Structure 1
Amino acid sequence: MKKLILSTAIVALTAGVSLAQDVVRMGTEGAYPPSNFINDKGEVDGFERELGDELCKRAELKCEWVVNEWDSIIPNLVSGNYDTIIAAMSITDERKEVIDFSEAYQPATPSVFVAKSADADIKGGVIAAQTSTIQSGYVAEQGMTLAEYATGDETIAAVRNGEADAVFADGEYLAPIVAESNGELMVVGEPVPLGGGVGIGMRKSDAELRAKFDAAITSMKDDGSLNAMIVKWFGENATTW
């Protein structure tokens, strides 16, 4: 689960989504598998696509998907370019000053360091992290040497090509990358708990929409389908409700 932090204040517009409109636009990054990605057909796919479609069905909403780059995903929500953010975004107090969130649909999971060597210098080396994330903020706060990149893929590439000694990101994002690396990459150091769960971001003016999604999320927790979906996309060892 990606954890976005706000580096500058954003003024939210007051124009909200009317539930009488034809379509609720679901904004996502499309570049953070298995949470969200673009498949071979050029369509949004992943855990959050399946989840979002099911939530819209339960909430009796007609929804469509909009892809937006991560570093502008909150400004474009408050500007009205789409109506929700469903993009592995953790719920934080800082972010709640600007937007509202649904009930969490995914529990908080620890972040980890991944490197090419078990003796990688985490404290004194260069640590790659995606820009505008809680992970990049943590690295900076700890006095480590931070190298920020626009996408998760670029952080991994930085470690592989020697630009960075390690990458710091959400553990469930890094786990399949490590597993598929054939021993090239490994988790080093201790896991770091960050964030407070993942929710759907919405404008503060959209209280009715939030209530509909909250009810849908609760119903999926109650009937076990949300946990089943998390395990499907993140594996048997995934953190569930």
Structure 2
Amino acid sequence: MKIDVLTLFPEMFSPVTESSILGRAVGKGILDIRLTDIRDFTNDRHNRADDYPFGGGGGMVMMADPIFGALESVEADRKKIVYMSPRGRLLDSDMIKQMSQLDEFVILCGHYEGVDQRVLDYWEIEEVSIGDYVLTGGELPAMVLIDSVARLIPEVLGNENSAMDESIYSGLLEHPQYTKPREYRGMQVPEVLVSGNHKLIDLWKFREALMLTKKRRPDLFDEFVKKCRNLSKDEGKILEEIIKMEL
């Protein structure tokens, strides 16, 4: 997958794209993350890419011309383009799955008070938000988008099944996890997890995931109940029990 990132601060991405799982994926050629500095396309002798907004107001707005130049340089007219913006569609598991199926896409990172609206209109850019809050720029949200999409690309993770098995992608929040030692400061690992009985372990994980989801994300729990299919008899009993529980 090829991802073009258009930004005023390309140096911000190196610690993320060159480290850990993403760094290994880039090194293997699974991911091709290309950073384009929008300032390289400004005609201003001071490399300014922003100006005061028409109509007044605080802050500065990124100008259309440098962004147009950056988009044209990566041939964005042939690709899906997203703009990281707090007013955009909320990034969720469905969007991430859809984007993981693409061969390439472009991320535009805004800064200051945003970008000239004509950029978004002309290029038919989809605005994407990672939450109902405002950050100083689109770079951090872009990193969130890249990381979440990359995890669903085959071979990026060591275990190809692990991305879809965990948390939101299964429809439930993830069950609690434990590792060595079995006892720490008086706290024990649940006995079932060291029993060696894989059926009981799977049922324990299912029960814990159901309880956590019902308690913390009742919206997800209700959706899971509506859509769940092909549960075993034991899983069905557990689900009925959790539905009746007051958490």
Considering the TM-score relative to the shorter chain, is it more than 0.5? no
Write 1 or 2 for the structure with the bigger share of strand.
Answer: 1
- Normalised to the residue count of structure 1, the TM-score between the two structures is 0.25
Look at both structures and tell me which one has the larger radius of gyration over its CA atoms. 2
